[in-house]
Chain A
Amino acid sequence: MNDFLLELGQNPQARRLIKSLGLPIPVPQVLRRSHSPYEERPLAERAVVVAGAGELGSVLGDTLSRAGANPHVVGDEAALEPWRDPGEAFGRPATLHAPGEPPEGLRADALVFDATGIGRPEELRTLYDFFHPWIGTLEKSGRVVVLGRPAGRRSRQAAAAASAALEGFTRSVAKEVGRQGATGNVVYVEPGAEERLPAVLRFLLSDRSAYVTTQPFFVTAAAKAADRRPLTRPLEGRVALVTGAARGIGAATAELMAQEGAHVVVLDRPADDGPASKVARAIGGSVLLVDVSDPEAPERIVSDLTERFGGVDVVVHNAGVTRDKTLRRMKPEHWDQAVDINLASVVRITDALLEGPLRAGGRIVMLSSIAGLAGNVGQTNYAASKSGIVGLVENLAPKTAERGITVNAVAPGFIETRLTAAMPVVIREAARRMSALGQGGLPEDVGQVITFLSTPGADGITGQVVRVCGGALVGK
């Protein structure tokens, strides 16, 4: 499990030595992570530099001032306007910087560019003009966020081209800053969905999104809006079902959700009674011992949730298995097990929950996989099941939108778990390093994304696949 290079990288002397000797060793940066519950001001005292003359100025001004950031605005006097009132209300006056070279000594915790005003490829130059001088100020574990309008929603082809260009740009920036533990993501905000942007920004700019990078997000008004979007304890009063929650990503997710106030139902196989109970006890949750592939599982889960809690608000389909063999060697039961547990049972259980206990405003998160998206030798069964999840999510999201239920998938990359610890060392090393951040993620990194997608504030995100892969080379 332990990552030698990551540890070595924590030693400044060793870091300097490797650098000065010119050794071709990419030393990764330890990522800054959040271990506390959702804060009112997740960006407290962080220097956030904002540029770009877009349409989201007032959302940015309000969101960042409220989140406790120290805003720096690059532009002219007029660019300061949306920052005045929130700055005054929260005691976070914005500092104005003229375009061009940043002032000596200023280090940025985040660089945010509002590109919603870009309507032609020629105007993409404004991206270069801002990032070229400022990218060097980005701190370790910093954040780059580029905001745009979705290409599909733009009528003129020049605008669509410019919008789509943001993704390639941001992905590349993310890969350039990855070695310093920094991330880059692009957020496409549909016109009319601006009020749903703040929670996404708070998440992406905070330490909770440590392993999310090179990812496009689409904020839409597709799902019925949440009544409230609480900033702290966002899951209070909610019942969350997490399958496969006895260990790994499931257990980490259960803990994080409980920390935000959810009552978590820890579901796992009857054989995992011990670890499942341990998790449930630690977080004050409940245990439900069911094998998800059991044909009677949907009915049992529905009746249990209905009887004990009168319904459920959040469902996380995390239970999954690998049965890796090249196609020629794969036995039929290997195929069946992987496809049934990873995909068919998810379809069955989701159908049953949507018929009854899943309440309005609910959240469904399914686990896909980078391997599922990219395909992998020896994983025909697994990849089939995990890419099947994508189809399920895309199909369900519009159908449940009216009830305010969002459906999303999370696709983890290389995560340090029991599963990956058992990999041959060479493959494991390669997998770790083949990402922008140059290291594996932790179960909690995936848990943070699942938890975020489960909050009321994530009502702008539905029908999407969010990679938690540290910017892996492979994947969609």
Chain B
Amino acid sequence: MAKSEVKKGKKAGAKKKAPKSGRRRAVVVGGVRTPFLKAFTGFTKMDTIALGDAATRALLERFEVPRQEIDAIVWGGVILPGTAPNVAREIALDLGLPHSAEGMTVTRACASGLQAVTLAAAAIERGEADVVIAGGSDSTSNAELKVPQKVVHTFAPLALGGKGSPMDYLAALSQLMPITDILPRAPKIAERTTGEVMGEAAERMARRHGVTREEQDDFAFRSHQRAAEAIGSGRFDQEVTPVETPDGRWIHTDGLVRGDTSVDKLAKLRPVFAKDGTVTAGNASPLTDGAAAVLLMSEDKARALGYTPLAAFRSWAYVGVDPADQLLMGPALAMPKALARAGMRLSDADLVDMHEAFAAQVLSVLRMLSSRAFARERLGTDEAVGDVDPASLNVHGGSVAIGHPFGATGARMVTTMANELSVADKETALLGICAAGGLGAGAVLERV
């Protein structure tokens, strides 16, 4: 999409909302993501920085961003490369951006991408920057195997001290028994404090909220259907860029979406986290490689540069709950909080987009939002937050179908919703994301 097209992209009839007088507003100009691929498939040879490069490069090209105007990159990631954890800066250097385009990398588990975007918006609204690229990426394929600290602590003094004789190494080696203590450990998505694997947490939530296997499979099926439709209709072309891999292959579309799946097929899968469980590979988000980038500007700057902004944040909220209780319930608190900050009710939101870590988790959160008892006890309000209309929830599918590169998901959701507001001629979208550690995020996007 050329810049000129973007400029005249505004539809007739769309209501233009004037920003509150005197307040600097950050706007979303647009966003681009790489296709999302299952881990250890097409993107195996690309680490999180390379994926971030791909998304950001495409963003720069599609929106013809004047390089000198870029103040900063804010990037989100969960599995950060040990030797270069500030992915944002690496992207800027890889792409040859002006050295003045500074960079920071943030992590807030699965809400990292949204965190990067809202940080960028905050910096713009505080007047710290005018043009910021924000997004996130993760490459589960390139998660580093962890050498146990015991090995590090035994050998580092010898290796770094420089004076170790072969006998010293042999003596050190003899301390490293049993052998299982020193084998590299596979990374595991388990809570550090409770040791609970996230799927187990989803399983428990499903049980506690009476979410059945059938409901989860139905939800997963719908996610795939909608995502497949968005791909088939070309709707995702607006925001997905083809990526060339190091071996010269071009990846054009998401690799995980199965338009041909059926409820029957999903029902045949075996539960993964408990013998009599309900969470399967089919109704959970898979390990994924990918990146997403969002272009944010101050509204004045955007207009001065000739862009037509898509959306702005009316509010956002981050919350924490006890990870030992209901690890993934965060959005049930964060979304109402964001709504309250925006001065809105759930029914005012035209679209709702929730990160689908697990179908069980989304459905549990929806139960909580619908519960008056929950609202009274946990939110201190007299009425339930409300029922989310399935027709307006995750209109183009979600993480179960599309995949979930941890750091990229938030930026993907912001991009899809910002586009959807103008494509579908809607006013507001509510976002919700759950994250490890008992965290939750919520945000309200409004059309500009």
Contacts and interface: CB of A to CB of B under 8 A. Distances in A.
Contact of B329 (A40, A44, A68, A91): A91
Interface in B363-403: 364, 367-368, 371-374, 376-378
A84 B210 CA distance: 13
Interface of A: 40-41, 44, 66, 68, 84-86, 88-93
Nearest to A45: B324
Contacts of A91: 205, 208-209, 325-326, 329, 364, 368
Given A89-B371, A91-B208, 5 more contacts: A44-B325, A86-B377, A88-B371, A88-B374, A89-B377
B373 A85 contact: yes
Contact of A44 (B324, B371, B372): B324
B208 A89 contact: no
Contacts of B373: 84-86, 88-89
16 contacts: A41-B324, A41-B325, A44-B324, A44-B325, A66-B377, A85-B376, A86-B373, A88-B371, A88-B374, A89-B376, A89-B378, A90-B378, A91-B205, A91-B209, A91-B326, A91-B364
Contacts of B210: 93
Given A85-B373, A88-B373, A89-B371, A40 B208 contact: no
B322 interface: yes
A84 B325 CA distance: 19
A86 B378 CA distance: 10
Nearest to B374: A89
Interface residues of B, number: 19
Contacts, number: 38
B377 A68 contact: no
Interface in B204-240: 205, 208-210
B322 A93 contact: no
A285 to B, nearest CB: 29
Q: Would you list the 3 A-B pairs with minimal beta carbon distance, nearest first?
A: A89-B377, A85-B373, A91-B208
Interface string B183-223: 00000000000000000000001001110000000000000
A91 B326 CA distance: 8
Contacts of A89: 371, 373-374, 376-378
B322 A41 contact: yes
Contact of B322 (A40, A66, A86): A40
A86 B371 CA distance: 11
A91 B367 CA distance: 10
Interface in B324-374: 324-326, 329, 364, 367-368, 371-374
Contacts of B205: 91
Contacts of B364: 91
Interface-central residue, A66, A88, A92, by most chain B CB under 10 Å: A88
A44 B376 CA distance: 21
Contacts of B325: 41, 44, 68, 91
Contacts of A90: 377-378
Nearest to B367: A88
Nearest to B376: A89
Contacts of B376: 85, 89
B63 to A, nearest CB: 44
A164 to B, nearest CB: 37
Nearest to A88: B373
A37 to B, nearest CB: 14
A322 B324 CA distance: 46
A470 B22 CA distance: 70
A344 to B, nearest CB: 48
A66 B208 CA distance: 14
A319 B368 CA distance: 52
B228 to A, nearest CB: 33
Contacts of A93: 208-210
Contacts of B329: 91
A210 B439 CA distance: 34
A89 B208 CA distance: 11
A68 B208 CA distance: 12
